[in-house]
């Protein structure tokens, strides 16, 4: 269900009801030391034509994940409004301070945008952005695409992501839209049931929701960018916003995987340097040695051997070698056990 908008000082420079293409900003009054009455500007574009659904696209939820923001910015510059039926609300760089810094989290308030939903219109800047998206953007939408990559610390197999829904009919629609993306893999990710993510909030508001994870490592992957560009158009064709001839063949099959809760993750237990035993995409099994943590500054200390806790494939791998206890070194995706 849509939220009733809470009082907020935020405003926009775009008119959501106007046809054609507009590019502007969500303006959130922000009063730091050097700018008493200034604003934080979050880029937003509206492309509207004819009759059809409203599709919201978000990039830059984390500021060090680039394939989504590049793809959305290209749509803003290049898409002819006459080609669509419906409305696109395009937000390529939502956690804008993090994007400018090239960091996962906002340097302004230290928050991870994707753990702040539904936000707080009287909170910090990051909380005010998520409140604006929750209260003012999601209620306009029929569908939501949240384009993530692995970020600086992870490399993830390019994949389209299903956010689980308790509503069986919506869950079915979400899986169909995610499979339409045509990524090499479809993965159900519940984030341990955390409701504070953008996709969890979108699903709670009843939007057809598609996520992605596109490589990572804090860089731009050539393959992942190709998959992202095609996938976004494929979903827009699936939703009836773009014509059928704009679709591209899928790069995957119909297999659906999931992260099997806490057992998906392999964490470091020791301070040191992580040595992986497998590459992304390799088959692994519960109990199998997954890698070692070496204490290079005390060679007399034996390495710690880490083990997988689930059967499946290696889906994601930590990028920096240096690890501390609790760091996520590996992520396993298993065959989806739920209903399709
Ligand atoms: Ca992310």
Alpha carbon of 65 to ligand 1 centroid (Å):
7
The pLDDT, as a whole number, for residue 338 is: 87
Domain 261-334 classification at class level: mainly beta
The pLDDT, as a whole number, for residue 2 is: 76
Residue 316 has which token pair? 């994601």
Question: Does pTM surpass 0.95?
Answer: yes
The pLDDT averaged over each successive group of 10 residues in the chain (340 residues) is 90 98 97 95 98 98 98 98 98 98 98 98 98 98 98 97 97 97 97 96 98 96 98 98 97 93 97 98 98 97 98 98 98 92
Alpha carbon of 193 to ligand 1 centroid (Å):
16
The pLDDT, as a whole number, for residue 103 is: 98
Instruction: Give the C-alpha distances (Å, rounded to integers) separating 88 from 20, 41, 75, 148, 166.
Output: 10, 19, 10, 18, 26
Return the CATH architecture of domain 11-258. Answer: 3-Layer(aba) Sandwich (3.40)
Quick one: which of 218, 227, 195, 12 has its CA closest to 99?
A: 218
The pLDDT, as a whole number, for residue 147 is: 98
Alpha carbon of 149 to ligand 1 centroid (Å):
5
The pLDDT, as a whole number, for residue 339 is: 80
User: Could you tell me how far CA 16 lies from the centroid of its own chain?
Assistant: 24
The pLDDT, as a whole number, for residue 50 is: 97
Instruction: Give the C-alpha distances (Å, rounded to integers) separating 68 from 26, 40, 165, 185, 311.
Output: 19, 21, 23, 17, 30
Alpha carbon of 270 to ligand 1 centroid (Å):
25
The pLDDT, as a whole number, for residue 254 is: 85
In terms of DSSP bridges, do strands 185-188 and 154-162 run parallel, antiparallel, or are they unpaired?
parallel
Listed by start position, the domains of the chain span 11-258, 261-334
The pLDDT, as a whole number, for residue 3 is: 82
CA distance 305 to 278: 13
| Residues lying with their CB under 5 A of ligand 1, a single-atom ion | 62, 148
Alpha carbon of 296 to ligand 1 centroid (Å):
30
Answer for the pair 140, 54: CB distance below 8 angstroms, yes or no. yes
Alpha carbon of 241 to ligand 1 centroid (Å):
26
- Cα-only R_g, the chain: 20
Strands (E), the chain: 11-12, 20-30, 38-49, 54-58, 86-91, 143-148, 154-162, 185-188, 208-216, 256-258, 265-267, 272-276, 283-284, 289-294, 304-307, 312-318, 322-323, 328-335
């Amino acid at each position: 269900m849509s939220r009733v908008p809470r009082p907020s000082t935020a405003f926009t420079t775009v008119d959501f009801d106007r046809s054609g293409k507009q590019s502007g900003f969500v303006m959130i009054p922000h009063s730091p030391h050097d700018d008493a009455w200034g604003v934080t500007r979050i880029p937003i574009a509206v492309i509207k034509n004819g009759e059809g659904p409203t599709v919201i696209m978000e990039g830059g939820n984390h500021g060090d994940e680039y394939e989504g923001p590049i793809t959305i910015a290209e749509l803003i510059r290049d898409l002819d409004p006459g080609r669509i039926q419906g409305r696109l609300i395009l937000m390529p760089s939502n956690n804008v301070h993090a994007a400018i810094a090239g960091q996962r989290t906002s340097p302004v308030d230290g928050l991870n945008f994707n753990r702040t939903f539904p936000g707080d219109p009287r909170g910090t800047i990051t909380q005010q952005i998520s409140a604006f998206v929750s209260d003012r953007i999601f209620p306009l939408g029929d569908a939501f695409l949240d384009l993530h990559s692995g970020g600086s610390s992870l490399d993830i197999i390019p994949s389209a992501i299903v956010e689980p829904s308790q509503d069986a009919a919506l869950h079915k629609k979400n899986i169909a839209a995610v499979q339409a993306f045509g990524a090499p893999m479809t993965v159900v990710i519940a984030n341990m049931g955390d409701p504070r993510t953008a996709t969890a909030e979108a699903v709670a508001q009843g939007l057809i929701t598609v996520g992605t994870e596109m490589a990572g490592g804090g860089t731009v992957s050539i393959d992942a960018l190709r998959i992202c560009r095609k996938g976004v158009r494929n979903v827009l064709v699936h939703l009836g916003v773009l014509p059928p001839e704009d679709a591209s063949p899928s790069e995957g099959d119909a297999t659906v995987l999931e992260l099997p809760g806490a057992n998906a993750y392999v964490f470091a237990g020791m301070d040191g340097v992580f040595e992986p035993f497998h590459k992304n995409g390799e088959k692994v099994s519960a109990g199998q040695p997954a890698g070692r943590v070496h204490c290079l500054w005390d060679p007399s200390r034996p390495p710690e051997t880490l083990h997988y806790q689930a059967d499946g494939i290696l889906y994601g791998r930590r990028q920096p070698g240096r690890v501390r206890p609790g760091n996520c070194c590996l992520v396993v995706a298993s065959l989806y056990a739920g209903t399709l």
